[in-house]
Amino acid sequence: MKKIVYSILALTVIGFTSCGETTTETKKEEDQKEVEIEVQTISGTFHTAAGATITWHAKHNQDEDFVHTGTVPTTGTVVVEDNKIIGGNFSFDVIDLDKDGEGSMDVELENHLKEPGFFDVGVFPKALFSIKSVSNNQITGELEIIGFKKEITVDVKSHIDDGGLHVFGSVMVDFLSFGMQNLVIPEGSTEEEIAEAPDSNITIDFDFLLEAAK
């Protein structure tokens, strides 16, 4: 805990009566007062709480809104210095990728996303993200998916929460840039086929509580 001393300028307005006449005058006094306010400061290594996930949202090229949503189990560590994130690493268990819903079509899509052409979880069961730099509310790092590594920048918000660090935000990732063959639209495709093809831009939301290492 650090104590930060703030100087507060107090302006005192005084009304008074003099010599039997009702005369009101205003007097300003500058009075420097010191008030101590306790501000929590944290540093150290923090780990994602149990059950942490990221949420993904997908659609087809013709869709205005997302039509598929699911989660991926996530573990991660961040290093904090004086309330600022300075480093960290995250691992995403795409082998356990989940598609919302319990219908046969949901299960079929979930399994399809794990096949070669998408995440190929038999060879690449995890995706990785490593923090390289932090500036204001943006984290830049290296995202690795099915062996391809790309630099991405993520808008992040954070605050101290119950002695831990609450981190949340959203980012759009173009998965075609990671070599997913099932996202490639074949040359000569019709407009209808292009419209029905999956949009390669996937939105990822995250909302983590990171707890201090014990």
Q: Are residues 121 and 149 in the same domain?
A: yes
d(CA 92, CA 127): 5
In angstroms, rounded to a whole number, what is the distance separating the alpha carbons of residues 198 and 190? Answer: 14
Indicate if 103 and 60 belong to the same structural domain: yes
Residues 23 and 92 in one domain: no
Residue 168 domain boundaries: 44-212
Show the 3-state SS of 141-183: EEEEECCEEEEEEEEEEEEEECCEEEEEEEEEEEHHHHCCHHH
Predicted local confidence at residue 3, as pLDDT: 35
The dihedrals phi and psi of 182, each to the nearest 5 degrees, come to -75, -5
pLDDT averaged over 10-residue windows placed end to end, the chain, 214 residues:
32 34 47 55 91 97 96 96 92 97 92 96 98 94 97 93 85 96 96 97 96 84
Total number of domains in the chain: 2
pTM here is 0.80
> What's residue 151's pLDDT?
97
Query: Do residues 27 and 55 both lie within one domain?
Result: no
- The β-bridge relationship of strands 44-48 and 68-81 is antiparallel
Q: Is 147 left (phi over 0), alpha (psi -120 to 50) or beta?
A: left
